[in-house]
A and B are shown apart, each in its own frame.
Chain A
Amino acid sequence: MTTATAQIAASDRSAVRYGSISRGRKRTLYWSYFFLILFVIFFLMPPIYMFITSLKTSAEIGAVTNPWWVYHPTLQNYIDLLSQAQFLTFFKNSALVAVIVVAVTMVVSILAAFSLARMKFWGSGTLATGVFLTYLIPESLLFIPLFKIFAFIHDLTGIELINHWWVLIFLYPTLTVPFATWIMIGYFSSIPKELDEAALIDGAGYLQILTKIFIPVALPGIIAATIFTFTVSWANFLYPLAFTTSADQLVLPVGIVTTLIKGDVYNWGQIMTGALLGAAPPLIIYAFLMDYYIAGLTAGATKG
């Protein structure tokens, strides 16, 4: 009897058509694609325009032609830029700064986040909030006091900190450490407490719990923080502009702008080429780490 009732109920339901799940899903997909395409056009336009311009001669850039088409493609801008020792110096400075800052930031913020997330000590909660608050202070407010501090250090010890590329290694962590620490606190807090208790009973010390349990388990978070740190230290403009001036001490973003704009003469072809080449390393790193990142995310999703 119950089967009969069920059949009647089913036929009733199919008679009244409220629309199916798949139709609803289709419509959602249409709209998703619509906005995704809009998004892609909006965000890919500038790099495409940069790429097109980088293939033109200065004469063609200045000429009144279709700006979206290259009539006489040339690699001269690339050749010129890459054969300049100056540009390679910028590249080297940027790379050194970024790599060292990533290393310093990750060491500091992983240790800080572990202690703030797990070793409950007096004031740890306040300290964790404080770490995040420092991130909220914009760099444009920080660089003047930093100037003062540098002047003070110079007066006190005679060490000149201004106009050296390596000073950025001390400056960038003020931006990257708070944020990376904050991300890592979140990741570490999501690791069940029993995991470190089990390790504690298994005979691990705090450092072993960190290296053998926390870092492997929170790897997706560590990679996210690494990507963030690398991007910040690769692309920061204000600090190098304020603290470095000599051509051999500049990093890429500032170097391109200050050496390729001479007075009111803009060497657009080379500026675009430089910007494109400068954007390459983060792109490559993203592409490489993204696979890891996603794999890590799904592995952590269902916890053992």
Chain B
Amino acid sequence: MAEVALRNIVKTFDRTPAVAGIDLDISDREFVVLVGPSGCGKTTTLRMIAGLEEATSGEIYIGDQLVNDVPPKDRDIAMVFQNYALYPHMTVYENMSFGLRLKKFPKAEIKERVENAARILDITNLLDRRPKQLSGGQRQRVAMGRAIVRNPKVFLFDEPLSNLDAKLRVQMRMEIKKVHQKVTVTTVYVTHDQVEAMTLADRVVVMNGGKIEQIGSPNEVYHRPTTRFVAGFIGSPAMNFLPCRLVEGSNGSAGLSIKLSDKLSFPIPPDRIARYRPYAGRELIFGLRPEDIIEKRGDLPPGRAAFDAQLDVVEPMGMETMVYFLVDSTEVCGRVDPAVAGKPGETMPLVADLNHMHLIDPQTDQVL
């Protein structure tokens, strides 16, 4: 059991920075997910914690120990790889016990630990099989089993579910969560899938371009993103971004409003006016998630604004229907009740929930 701390970690490959100065504190038993697009440095960061890559500069601590110069085997970590990396010539039992056998554990203890891990993962009946006789999900379990038997200070997962099909991925995601609840160990998990990040993490670390964009609980990064990147990356379908102008006065009152096009402007909810006042008159970016653009029904609660949209594309998803329409030339996505969704070309009354809106400064890409 241990904390992990990264202090100003930099990694450059042939002068190209892959990780450009990262500070991160992971508490004991915490499940932290590093998420970001390809090439954002998340895997490199994980590999530096594992000791498979050397940090160009900065300090890595596991527990209280500075581990920059400690080889992987002495860091007391276990890693699950994207392609499982099971030893093809060994049985599942041998795969799982390999690390313990190298450390010369007594046979009885190895057996006990392997059987215990196999029970947790429900692979007891597979122990004599070889990896090639297993399905993808089973291999994934064995790879996790190999990590569990070591009883390490830190678990590292490198996109463990990317090689599985969609259905199995959802199932294994739940398994990983269950395992973490049973075997509470500090865990660092890398993924490019923001759904995985949201569902698994105690804290999500959103990375982009070798830097950390935001660290927060899944709800924080979802509802209170601090940068445009986080706002756009987290959430599916992605947040709508529209260029807008923040103008004084709405419907003749003393408030503020955002002007999205000649025809469309929304009043700013009263509780946000003070926050946005300094930016009045500026060109900004308006962000609103699809689920905050819904069909109009009944009276408007405060903070909501109604408008009519001519539908461009309609995507029925079953429990909801995604509708796409144009505001000026930008496509905007809304999420409506399938029962009332219009057809393409029709005009549909919609409501924007401005209590959940974001305004982004295009110069700094910061959420205001």
Interface residues of chain A, those whose CB is within 8 Å of chain B, are 192, 194-195, 197-205, 208, 212-213, 216-217, 299-300, 302-304
With A204-B73, A304-B130 already in contact, the answer to whether A213 and B87 are too (CB < 8 A) is yes
The answer to whether B88 and A201 have CB atoms under 8 Å apart is: no
The answer to whether B132 and A303 have CB atoms under 8 Å apart is: yes
Interchain Cβ contacts within 8 Å, total number: 72
With A197-B79, A304-B132, A304-B139 already in contact, the answer to whether A202 and B102 are too (CB < 8 A) is yes
Return the contact of A203 from the options B81, B84, B99 (Cβ within 8 A).
B99
With A197-B52, A201-B77 already in contact, the answer to whether A304 and B84 are too (CB < 8 A) is yes
Which 8 residue pairs are nearest across A and B when measured between Cβ atoms?
A304-B131, A202-B99, A194-B85, A304-B88, A203-B73, A198-B85, A216-B89, A194-B81
The answer to whether A203 and B103 have CB atoms under 8 Å apart is: yes
Q: Which residues of A contact B132 (CB under 8 A)?
A: 299, 302-304
Q: Which residues of B contact A197 (CB under 8 A)?
A: 50, 52, 72, 79, 81, 85
Question: Whole-angstrom distance between the alpha carbons of A304 and B130 in the complex?
Answer: 8
Return the contact of B150 from the options A202, A208, A299 (Cβ within 8 A).
A202
1/0 per residue B69-93: CB within 8 Å of A?
0011100011101111111110000
Instruction: Decide yes or no whether B98 CB sits under 8 A from chain A.
Output: yes
Interface residues of chain B, those whose CB is within 8 Å of chain A, are 50-52, 71-73, 77-79, 81-89, 98-99, 102-103, 130-132, 134, 139, 146, 150
Question: Whole-angstrom distance between the alpha carbons of A222 and B90 in the complex?
Answer: 18
Question: Whole-angstrom distance between the alpha carbons of A205 and B52 in the complex?
Answer: 13
Sample 25 A-B pairs with CB under 8 A, ordered by A number.
A194-B81, A194-B82, A194-B85, A195-B85, A195-B87, A197-B72, A197-B79, A198-B85, A198-B86, A198-B146, A199-B87, A201-B51, A202-B73, A202-B98, A202-B150, A204-B73, A204-B102, A216-B89, A217-B87, A217-B88, A303-B88, A304-B84, A304-B86, A304-B131, A304-B132
Question: Whole-angstrom distance between the alpha carbons of A209 and B99 in the complex?
Answer: 12
Q: Which residues of A contact B82 (CB under 8 A)?
A: 194
Q: Which residues of B contact A195 (CB under 8 A)?
A: 85, 87
Q: Which residues of B contact A213 (CB under 8 A)?
A: 87
Given contacts A198-B85, A202-B146, 20 further A-B contacts (CB under 8 A): A192-B85, A195-B85, A195-B87, A197-B50, A197-B81, A198-B146, A200-B73, A201-B51, A201-B52, A202-B98, A202-B150, A203-B99, A204-B98, A204-B102, A208-B102, A212-B98, A217-B88, A217-B89, A299-B132, A304-B139
Q: Which residues of A contact B79 (CB under 8 A)?
A: 197-198, 201
Question: Whole-angstrom distance between the alpha carbons of A168 and B289 in the complex?
Answer: 78
Q: How far is the CB of A219 from chain B (nearest CB, A)?
A: 8
Return the contact of B78 from the options A194, A201, A205 (Cβ within 8 A).
A201
Give the nearest-CB partner of B52 in chain A.
Answer: A197
Question: Which secondary structure dominates chain B's binding surface?
Answer: loop
Give the nearest-CB partner of A300 in chain B.
Answer: B88
Question: Whole-angstrom distance between the alpha carbons of A204 and B99 in the complex?
Answer: 8
The answer to whether A198 and B88 have CB atoms under 8 Å apart is: no
Q: How far is the CB of B81 from chain A (nearest CB, A)?
A: 4
Q: Which residues of B contact A304 (CB under 8 A)?
A: 84, 86-88, 130-132, 134, 139
Q: How far is the CB of A301 from chain B (nearest CB, A)?
A: 9
Question: Whole-angstrom distance between the alpha carbons of A190 and B82 in the complex?
Answer: 17
Give the nearest-CB partner of A208 in chain B.
Answer: B102
Question: Whole-angstrom distance between the alpha carbons of A187 and B86 in the complex?
Answer: 18
Question: Whole-angstrom distance between the alpha carbons of A51 and B132 in the complex?
Answer: 46
Question: Which secondary structure dominates chain A's binding surface?
Answer: helix
Q: Which residues of B contact A208 (CB under 8 A)?
A: 102
Q: Which residues of B contact A194 (CB under 8 A)?
A: 81-83, 85
The answer to whether B88 and A200 have CB atoms under 8 Å apart is: no
The answer to whether A200 and B87 have CB atoms under 8 Å apart is: no
Question: Whole-angstrom distance between the alpha carbons of A201 and B46 in the complex?
Answer: 13
Q: Which residues of B contact A201 (CB under 8 A)?
A: 50-52, 72-73, 77-79, 99
Give the nearest-CB partner of A216 in chain B.
Answer: B89
Question: Whole-angstrom distance between the alpha carbons of A299 and B89 in the complex?
Answer: 9
Give the nearest-CB partner of B84 in chain A.
Answer: A304
The winner among B50, B81, B150 for most chain A CB atoms within 10 A is: B81
Q: How far is the CB of A134 from chain B (nearest CB, A)?
A: 30
Q: How far is the CB of A202 from chain B (nearest CB, A)?
A: 4
Question: Whole-angstrom distance between the alpha carbons of A199 and B88 in the complex?
Answer: 12
Q: Which residues of B contact A302 (CB under 8 A)?
A: 132
Question: Whole-angstrom distance between the alpha carbons of A199 and B50 in the complex?
Answer: 12
With A194-B81, A198-B81 already in contact, the answer to whether A203 and B102 are too (CB < 8 A) is yes
Question: Whole-angstrom distance between the alpha carbons of A212 and B131 in the complex?
Answer: 16
The winner among B89, B98, B131 for most chain A CB atoms within 10 A is: B89
Q: How far is the CB of A204 from chain B (nearest CB, A)?
A: 6
The winner among A192, A194, A208, A299 for most chain B CB atoms within 10 A is: A194
Q: Which residues of A contact B78 (CB under 8 A)?
A: 201
Q: How far is the CB of B117 from chain A (nearest CB, A)?
A: 14
Q: Which residues of A contact B51 (CB under 8 A)?
A: 201
The answer to whether A192 and B83 have CB atoms under 8 Å apart is: yes
Question: Whole-angstrom distance between the alpha carbons of A274 and B64 in the complex?
Answer: 74
Question: Whole-angstrom distance between the alpha carbons of A196 and B17 in the complex?
Answer: 25
Give the nearest-CB partner of A301 in chain B.
Answer: B132
Q: How far is the CB of A271 from chain B (nearest CB, A)?
A: 46
Q: Which residues of B contact A216 (CB under 8 A)?
A: 89
Q: How far is the CB of B166 from chain A (nearest CB, A)?
A: 23
Q: How far is the CB of A113 from chain B (nearest CB, A)?
A: 18
Question: Whole-angstrom distance between the alpha carbons of A192 and B85 in the complex?
Answer: 8
Q: Which residues of B contact A205 (CB under 8 A)?
A: 73
Q: How far is the CB of B128 from chain A (nearest CB, A)?
A: 14
Return the contact of A200 from the options B72, B86, B150 (Cβ within 8 A).
B72
Question: Whole-angstrom distance between the alpha carbons of A303 and B84 in the complex?
Answer: 11
Q: How far is the CB of B45 from chain A (nearest CB, A)?
A: 15
Q: Which residues of B contact A217 (CB under 8 A)?
A: 87-89
Q: Which residues of A contact B130 (CB under 8 A)?
A: 304
Q: Which residues of A contact B72 (CB under 8 A)?
A: 197, 200-201
Q: How far is the CB of A164 from chain B (nearest CB, A)?
A: 41
Give the nearest-CB partner of B156 in chain A.
Answer: A201
Question: Whole-angstrom distance between the alpha carbons of A198 and B156 in the complex?
Answer: 11
Q: How far is the CB of B14 from chain A (nearest CB, A)?
A: 13
